[in-house]
Amino acid sequence: MDISSFRSIDGLNAASQGTLIELLGIRFTHVENGLCRGELVLKPEHLAANGYLHAATVIALADTAAGYGCVASLPEGAVGFTTIELKSNFFGTARDGTIKAEARMRHGGRTTQIWDAEVETADGRALAAFRCTQLILWPR
Protein backbone atom coordinates (compact mmCIF):
# COMPACT_ATOMS: atom_id res chain seq x y z
CA MET A 1 0.00 0.00 0.00
CA ASP A 2 1.41 3.39 -1.00
CA ILE A 3 0.44 5.48 2.01
CA SER A 4 1.31 8.77 0.29
CA SER A 5 -1.53 8.27 -2.22
CA PHE A 6 -4.02 8.43 0.67
CA ARG A 7 -3.12 12.05 1.37
CA SER A 8 -5.01 13.45 -1.63
CA ILE A 9 -8.60 13.21 -2.89
CA ASP A 10 -7.44 11.82 -6.23
CA GLY A 11 -5.34 9.24 -4.41
CA LEU A 12 -8.23 8.15 -2.18
CA ASN A 13 -10.65 7.80 -5.07
CA ALA A 14 -8.03 5.95 -7.17
CA ALA A 15 -7.34 3.54 -4.28
CA SER A 16 -11.06 2.70 -4.24
CA GLN A 17 -11.11 1.42 -7.82
CA GLY A 18 -11.92 -2.26 -8.07
CA THR A 19 -12.99 -2.51 -4.41
CA LEU A 20 -16.22 -2.63 -2.42
CA ILE A 21 -15.88 1.12 -2.01
CA GLU A 22 -16.17 1.67 -5.76
CA LEU A 23 -18.96 -0.92 -6.03
CA LEU A 24 -20.99 0.98 -3.42
CA GLY A 25 -20.26 4.31 -5.14
CA ILE A 26 -18.48 6.00 -2.22
CA ARG A 27 -16.54 9.07 -3.30
CA PHE A 28 -14.22 11.22 -1.21
CA THR A 29 -14.33 15.01 -1.12
CA HIS A 30 -11.76 16.04 1.51
CA VAL A 31 -8.74 14.60 3.31
CA GLU A 32 -6.16 16.09 5.66
CA ASN A 33 -4.36 14.92 8.76
CA GLY A 34 -7.08 13.93 11.24
CA LEU A 35 -10.06 14.54 8.92
CA CYS A 36 -11.73 12.78 5.98
CA ARG A 37 -15.06 13.42 4.23
CA GLY A 38 -16.91 11.18 1.79
CA GLU A 39 -20.33 10.84 0.24
CA LEU A 40 -22.60 8.35 -1.44
CA VAL A 41 -25.50 8.91 -3.83
CA LEU A 42 -28.17 6.43 -2.77
CA LYS A 43 -29.46 3.83 -5.22
CA PRO A 44 -32.04 1.07 -4.71
CA GLU A 45 -29.25 -1.44 -4.04
CA HIS A 46 -28.22 0.54 -0.93
CA LEU A 47 -31.60 -0.14 0.66
CA ALA A 48 -32.81 -3.06 2.75
CA ALA A 49 -35.77 -5.20 1.72
CA ASN A 50 -38.08 -2.86 3.67
CA GLY A 51 -37.19 0.04 1.34
CA TYR A 52 -35.10 1.99 3.86
CA LEU A 53 -31.36 2.58 3.98
CA HIS A 54 -29.47 -0.56 4.95
CA ALA A 55 -27.37 -0.13 8.10
CA ALA A 56 -24.42 -1.78 6.34
CA THR A 57 -24.42 1.01 3.76
CA VAL A 58 -24.09 3.63 6.49
CA ILE A 59 -21.37 1.65 8.27
CA ALA A 60 -19.44 1.14 5.01
CA LEU A 61 -19.42 4.89 4.36
CA ALA A 62 -18.41 5.82 7.93
CA ASP A 63 -15.83 3.04 8.28
CA THR A 64 -14.20 3.87 4.96
CA ALA A 65 -13.99 7.57 5.79
CA ALA A 66 -12.38 6.72 9.14
CA GLY A 67 -10.06 4.14 7.58
CA TYR A 68 -8.90 6.42 4.77
CA GLY A 69 -8.44 9.20 7.30
CA CYS A 70 -6.37 6.85 9.44
CA VAL A 71 -4.06 5.97 6.54
CA ALA A 72 -3.67 9.66 5.68
CA SER A 73 -2.78 10.32 9.34
CA LEU A 74 -0.44 7.43 10.13
CA PRO A 75 2.64 8.27 12.19
CA GLU A 76 5.96 8.34 10.34
CA GLY A 77 7.25 4.80 9.71
CA ALA A 78 3.88 3.02 10.15
CA VAL A 79 2.92 0.72 7.27
CA GLY A 80 -0.85 0.46 7.74
CA PHE A 81 -3.64 -0.23 10.20
CA THR A 82 -6.40 -2.67 11.00
CA THR A 83 -9.75 -2.00 12.65
CA ILE A 84 -10.04 -3.68 16.04
CA GLU A 85 -13.41 -2.29 17.16
CA LEU A 86 -16.33 -0.35 15.73
CA LYS A 87 -19.70 0.86 16.97
CA SER A 88 -22.57 2.70 15.39
CA ASN A 89 -25.73 4.38 16.69
CA PHE A 90 -28.51 5.18 14.22
CA PHE A 91 -30.86 8.16 14.49
CA GLY A 92 -32.69 8.18 11.19
CA THR A 93 -32.87 6.79 7.69
CA ALA A 94 -33.09 7.83 4.06
CA ARG A 95 -34.42 6.37 0.84
CA ASP A 96 -32.80 8.60 -1.76
CA GLY A 97 -30.48 11.53 -2.20
CA THR A 98 -26.91 11.79 -0.98
CA ILE A 99 -25.53 10.81 2.39
CA LYS A 100 -22.26 12.23 3.71
CA ALA A 101 -19.72 11.18 6.32
CA GLU A 102 -17.21 13.30 8.18
CA ALA A 103 -14.60 11.31 10.11
CA ARG A 104 -12.32 12.96 12.68
CA MET A 105 -9.42 11.49 14.61
CA ARG A 106 -10.08 11.76 18.37
CA HIS A 107 -6.88 10.03 19.48
CA GLY A 108 -3.68 9.57 17.48
CA GLY A 109 -1.15 7.49 19.36
CA ARG A 110 1.75 5.29 18.34
CA THR A 111 -0.26 2.06 18.63
CA THR A 112 -3.87 3.15 18.15
CA GLN A 113 -6.06 5.80 16.59
CA ILE A 114 -9.67 6.43 17.55
CA TRP A 115 -11.98 7.93 14.91
CA ASP A 116 -15.49 9.35 15.17
CA ALA A 117 -17.68 9.78 12.12
CA GLU A 118 -21.01 11.52 11.72
CA VAL A 119 -23.25 10.42 8.85
CA GLU A 120 -25.99 12.74 7.63
CA THR A 121 -28.16 13.54 4.65
CA ALA A 122 -27.13 16.26 2.21
CA ASP A 123 -29.44 18.70 4.02
CA GLY A 124 -27.78 17.98 7.38
CA ARG A 125 -30.23 15.54 8.98
CA ALA A 126 -28.30 13.19 11.31
CA LEU A 127 -28.40 9.51 10.40
CA ALA A 128 -25.69 7.90 12.53
CA ALA A 129 -22.75 8.33 14.88
CA PHE A 130 -19.85 5.93 14.39
CA ARG A 131 -16.66 5.24 16.37
CA CYS A 132 -13.80 2.89 15.62
CA THR A 133 -10.43 1.98 17.04
CA GLN A 134 -7.56 1.38 14.61
CA LEU A 135 -4.45 -0.63 15.50
CA ILE A 136 -1.38 0.94 13.87
CA LEU A 137 0.85 -1.56 12.01
CA TRP A 138 4.63 -1.26 12.00
CA PRO A 139 7.24 -3.02 9.87
CA ARG A 140 8.51 -6.32 11.25
Q: What is the pLDDT of residues 16-61, one digit of tens each?
A: 999 999 999 999 999 999 999 999 999 999 999 999 999 999 999 9
* Residue 74, amino acid: L
Compute the distance between CA of residue 1 and CA of residue 3 in angstroms, rounded to an integer. 6
Average pLDDT of 67-72?
Answer: 96
At 126, phi and psi to the nearest 5? Answer: -65, 135
How would you list the strands of the sheet with 80-90, edge to edge? 27-32, 35-41, 98-108, 112-121, 126-137, 80-90
Q: What is the CATH number of the domain that holds 19?
A: 3.10.129.10
* Total domain count, the chain: 1
Residue 57 Rama label (left phi>0; alpha psi -120 to 50; beta): alpha
Element (H, E) at 9: helix 9-15
The predicted-structure confidence for 79-134, as pLDDT tens digits, reads as follows: 999 999 999 999 999 999 999 999 999 999 999 999 999 999 999 999 999 999 99
Identify the sign of the CA torsion 11, 3, 76, 114.
Answer: positive
The pLDDT assigned to 1 comes to 59
| In contact, 33 and 67? CB cutoff 8 Å | no
Q: What is the pLDDT of residue 89?
A: 98
Q: Is the pLDDT of residue 2 over 80?
A: no
pLDDT recorded at residue 127: 98
Q: Which of 111, 101, 99 is nearest to 136 (CA)?
A: 111
> What integer pLDDT is reported at residue 135 of this predicted model?
98
3-state SS, residue 80: strand
Find the domain containing 63 and state its range.
Answer: 3-137
Element (H, E) at 59: helix 55-72
